[in-house]
Structure 1
Amino acid sequence: MKLKLLTWDVKDTLLRMRLPVGQQYQAEARSRDLQVESATLESSFRQVYGSHCRLFPNYGRSQGMTSHRWWLDVVSQTFCLSGIQDEKILQTMSEKLYQDFSTAKYWEVLPGARAALIGCRELGLKMAVISNFDRRLEDILRRVDLDEHFDFVLTSESAGVAKPDVGMFQKALKLGDVFPHHAAHIGDDFMNDYKAAREAGMFSFLLQRRQRDDIPSDHLIHSLDQLVPRLRELIK
């Protein structure tokens, strides 16, 4: 196989949140002398986020929304559902958290990610990101010093479609100027990453710690330090 392009998912593949959402939102509330349980905020966030994803998919892009507005609504409604009603405080906290999540404050690079990226570069591969993220992703990657590894970053907001839509992968293949059989993708979600990439004609790896019987064992990566040896086997 002549592999030319390797595309990456980001959240829980290369980056993870430093703390659960509920704890991060609680810290912001406490900085303003507001008392609310992190478990309450976590539950409210999951409810509001899930509802917004259903009602306004892909940050409401097709409905004329911006991801900025989408996230401000999610954060504000999360606090409101958790018992904080002051409109001015809700707006201030929502904007502050939106900006903070654009930085490295709440994000950390997963163990083995930097070494894996360097190893893939040494194999001579072009690399890119395919992520159901909003427009802040490039800033985040820059601030955690991962941006230099990628030839381009494709978010669902910029693409206008979201994984598992194969159109997302087709756009990446076009940007990378490669045929599907010359590209591979790695991510932690079976539908969005592993299956969707294969439906687009690409090779794919699923990053998961637990064993699975529904995919070939050589398609499964338990930790990122396994990736480069697997790629070497693939491109022999």
Structure 2
Amino acid sequence: MTGLKLITFDLDNTLWPVDEVIRQAEKTCSDWIAEHHPSAAAALTAERVRTVRDELVRAHPDYLNNLTRLRRDAMARAFIDAGFKEKEARHIAADAFQVFHDARNRVTFFPGALEVLETLADSYTLGALSNGNADLKRIGIRELFGFHHSAESIGRRKPDPDMFQAALQSAGVRPEQALHVGDHPVEDVDAARQHGFHAVWANLIDLRWPGDLDKPEHHIHHLRELTDLLPLFDD
């Protein structure tokens, strides 16, 4: 009997909806710039930052492995393009990113998420595997997790195997003793399957499953459903 020992979770759109969080964080950041650096405000609309981000990623795809560096550099580039000296542009961008990041970590959990995490943490090692830059300590749930690996800390984003391998090493378990729960069909569910994990598709935001991927064996629409599935993985 193998037994499930490790449960890893994606974060954004798995434990909380993220789109509105990012919109609010961008607005908070823009408002802060307008108040503290009004001469820079016109250069740093959310739309302008997204355009610069896209340009940076096209030129250097590895930016996707570090979204903090990408957003900070995009803001600095937008300021430089608007005529600011590089040192000043990077200083304002660094301060503005901290404002953004504080707001980015003010999340509202999906119903039942905290209760499920607290229950599971009593019986399993929990790990967080995220391509984003959420901060579990700022959010207030770091103590529930044995570890948190991200694209920034590992240097490679899901679906590459590095984060999954790091999770197994951190927990000291084999792939068949691990379950990954996430919302993204490719980066979470299919990647976990490819790397030997059990997988549950957490479809809490009503996505369509891609037609070119094998359908998931297990999926949930509410995180409380997860506890009912767990006995299936204790083979």
Q: TM-score range by the shorter chain?
A: 0.7 to 0.9
Partner of 1:4: 5
Q: How does 1:107-186 map to 2 (within 5 A)?
A: 107-111=106-110, 112-122=112-122, 124-133=123-132, 137=134, 140-186=135-181
Deviation (angstroms), 1:79: 5.3
Distance 1:190 1:29, change over 3 A: same
In 2: Cα distance, 1:18 partner to 1:133 partner: 13
Structure 2, unmatched stretches of 5+, are: none
Q: How does 1:1-236 map to 2 (within 5 A)?
A: 2-15=3-16, 16=18, 18-20=21-23, 22-32=26-36, 33=38, 36=42, 41-59=45-63, 70-78=70-78, 84-87=82-85, 90-103=89-102, 106-111=105-110, 112-122=112-122, 124-133=123-132, 137=134, 140-208=135-203, 209-210=205-206, 212=208, 216=215, 219-235=218-234
Deviation (angstroms), 1:128: 0.8
- Over aligned residues, Cα RMSD in angstroms? 3.1
Distance 1:167 1:18, change over 3 A: closer
- Normalised to the residue count of structure 2, the TM-score between the two structures is 0.78
Report Cα offsets for 1:4-35 as digits up to 9, x if no partner: 10111122223436350542332123213355
Report the residue type matching 1:18 in the other structure.
Answer: V
Deviation (angstroms), 1:173: 1.1
Distance 1:155 1:19, change over 3 A: closer
Query: Equivalent pairs: percent with the same residue?
Result: 26
In 2: Cα distance, 1:86 partner to 1:101 partner: 20
Q: Between Structure 1 and Structure 2, how many residues are aligned?
A: 223
- Normalised to the residue count of structure 1, the TM-score between the two structures is 0.77
